[in-house]
């Protein structure tokens, strides 16, 4: 979903845009025509044997690194130094675009929404965090979909580095591999439950951390194992069995609600601007979470219109700026209102007023088709007396609306997030004035 088109009808103005695909309409994808093994890591050499209190709520940070990098050896598995005991070489950037990456993050967040775990695509500046490298290994042919350095009971070592390779095509498939590898570093072992995220191959879909005891296995042949982290497992199951859901609650605690609203600002035009000709509507989106996926509605109102024109809600990826070229507005005074809602239902809005001046007259000469013609270039004049900053109002938290990308369509629409760069062509409407708002990323 990458565009927004505003059609101003002479009789009934309205904003039209492709609708996001609802999450319940997405068909899950089973990645494996031939299931790919997800590597079984070596148990931690010094398994912690006592009880350990849960971490602070939300304290566990999983950084999903889509940008690749040079992995270093001889320094353990420290995310801050790109250190790995598994692979020393170049991890290539993930091939998915910004919308696909946001889809992966959305799926991961949906699978851990009950636990005190924060998912981000931005490297933390300091502190303890896990890092999942998502991308293929340069010059390496692997036979597994993902790999972790160890099974770390109670997550006693803290932040580690694990790997997800591009063996899956859907956001759901990538996310499930990410979560299994990260879960190994949190003390989870493989289980013989195909709907559990700890199942040892990519076969199956819509996997979760199951709230039930599953038999621990040691390989993709599903040979049973006595288990390694039984000091954790036996809090909920018999020895050799695992309840991944309850164990994550024990280790990381319950999640805390996201009550911090995003921010939205109309960067261009300035409030009070007087504009002659076409212009760009530039909107800045920010949030404490990255990436943030927001539903956005743009409403344009003016006495020059018979009624306000509003776009259907469409999903966009932030933080960042989106630019919408605005064309062929008639003369008059206007207000543009932008309302956004983040994945947790937190709203924000802003509004400005501007004026459209009469279009400059065509002064081209009639003697020649090629000589003597001139065209007026669109200019923007802003009155210093009326230049105001955008009025941004942020209201309180709303009830969570849930994650919009529980899976992904076969067309890779994922979270139905719009990504700049593609243009949506509105239908040809005779006698209608078309105002195309085509989002594009600011450079």
pLDDT in tens, 266-315: 999 999 999 999 999 999 999 988 998 899 999 999 999 888 988 877 88
Give the bridge partners for 299, in sequence order.
Answer: 310, 337
Locate 121 and state its tokens.
């695509």
**Nearest-angstrom CA–CA distance, 68 and 25:** 33
Residue 219: count of CB within 10 angstroms of its CB: 11
**Nearest-angstrom CA–CA distance, 231 and 179:** 22
Locate 173 and state its tokens.
């498939």
- List of residues 6+ apart from 272 with CB closer than 8 A: 352, 353, 354, 382, 383, 385, 386, 387, 388
Please answer whether residues 123 and 65 qualify as being in contact, where contact means their C-beta atoms are separated by less than 8 angstroms: yes
Domains 4-20+258-361+377-399+416-441 and 27-252 share a fold: no
* CB neighbour burial string for 320-354, b if at least 16 within 10 angstroms, e if fewer: bbbbbebeebeeeebebbbbbbbbbbbbbbbbbbb
Instruction: Look up the CATH number of domain 4-20+258-361+377-399+416-441.
Output: 2.60.40.2550
- Select from 32, 24, 20 the least CA-distant residue to 176: 32
pLDDT in tens, 392-426: 222 232 222 222 222 333 333 333 333 333 322 22
Question: In the prediction, which pLDDT does 422 show?
Answer: 32
pLDDT in tens, 185-196: 999 999 999 999
pTM beyond 0.75: the answer is no
DSSP class per residue in 163-214: EE-S--SSHHHHHHHHHHHHHHTTT---BS-TTBTT-SBS-SSS-B--SS-E
Q: Which helix (H) or strand (E) holds 372?
A: none
- Select from 34, 28, 30 the least CA-distant residue to 220: 34
**Nearest-angstrom CA–CA distance, 191 and 186:** 15
Domain boundaries, the chain: 4-20+258-361+377-399+416-441, 27-252
Q: Which helix (H) or strand (E) holds 102?
A: helix 98-111
Please answer whether residues 111 and 179 qualify as being in contact, where contact means their C-beta atoms are separated by less than 8 angstroms: yes
Please answer whether residues 17 and 297 qualify as being in contact, where contact means their C-beta atoms are separated by less than 8 angstroms: no
Question: In the prediction, which pLDDT does 314 show?
Answer: 83
Instruction: Look up the CATH number of domain 27-252.
Output: 3.40.390
């Amino acid at each position: 979903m990458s565009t927004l088109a505003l059609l101003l009808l002479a009789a009934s103005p309205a904003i039209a845009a492709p609708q996001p695909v609802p999450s319940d309409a997405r068909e899950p994808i089973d990645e494996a025509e031939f299931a790919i093994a997800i590597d079984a890591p070596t148990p931690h050499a010094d398994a912690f044997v006592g009880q350990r209190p849960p971490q602070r709520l939300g304290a566990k940070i999983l950084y999903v690194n889509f940008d690749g990098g040079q992995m270093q050896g001889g320094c353990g598995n420290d995310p801050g130094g790109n250190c790995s005991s598994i692979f020393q070489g170049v991890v290539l950037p993930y091939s998915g675009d910004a919308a696909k990456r946001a889809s992966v993050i959305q799926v991961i967040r949906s699978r851990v929404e009950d636990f005190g775990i924060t998912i981000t695509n931005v490297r933390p500046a300091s502190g303890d965090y896990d890092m999942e490298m998502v991308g293929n290994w340069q010059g390496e042919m692997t036979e597994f979909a993902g790999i972790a350095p160890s099974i770390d009971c109670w997550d006693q070592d803290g932040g580690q580095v694990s790997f997800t390779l591009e063996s899956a095509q859907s956001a759901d498939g990538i996310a499930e591999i990410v979560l299994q590898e990260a879960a190994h570093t949190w003390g989870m072992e493989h289980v013989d439950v195909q709907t559990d995220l700890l199942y040892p191959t990519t076969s199956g879909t819509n996997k979760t951390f199951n709230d039930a005891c599953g038999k621990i296995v040691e390989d993709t042949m599903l040979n049973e194992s006595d288990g390694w982290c039984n000091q954790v497992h036996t809090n909920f199951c018999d020895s050799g069995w695992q309840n991944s859901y309850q164990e994550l609650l024990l280790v990381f605690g319950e999640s805390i609600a996201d009550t911090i609203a995003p921010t939205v600002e109309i960067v261009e035009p300035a409030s009070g601007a007087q504009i002659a000709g076409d212009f760009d509507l530039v909107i800045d989106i920010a949030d404490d979470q990255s990436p943030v996926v927001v539903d956005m509605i743009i409403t344009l109102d003016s006495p020059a219109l018979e009624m306000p024109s509003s776009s259907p809600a469409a999903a966009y990826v932030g933080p960042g700026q989106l630019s919408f070229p605005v064309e062929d507005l008639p003369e008059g005074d206007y207000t543009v209102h932008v309302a956004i809602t983040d994945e947790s239902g937190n709203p924000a809005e802003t509004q400005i007023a501007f004026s459209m001046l009469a279009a400059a007259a065509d002064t081209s000469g009639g003697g020649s088709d090629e000589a003597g013609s001139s065209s007026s270039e669109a200019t923007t004049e802003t009155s210093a007396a009326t230049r105001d900053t955008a009025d941004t109002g942020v209201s309180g938290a709303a009830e969570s609306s849930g994650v919009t990308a529980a899976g992904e369509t076969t067309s890779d629409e994922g979270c139905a997030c719009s990504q700049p760069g593609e243009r949506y062509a509105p239908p040809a409407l005779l006698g209608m004035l078309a105002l195309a708002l085509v989002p594009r990323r600011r450079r």
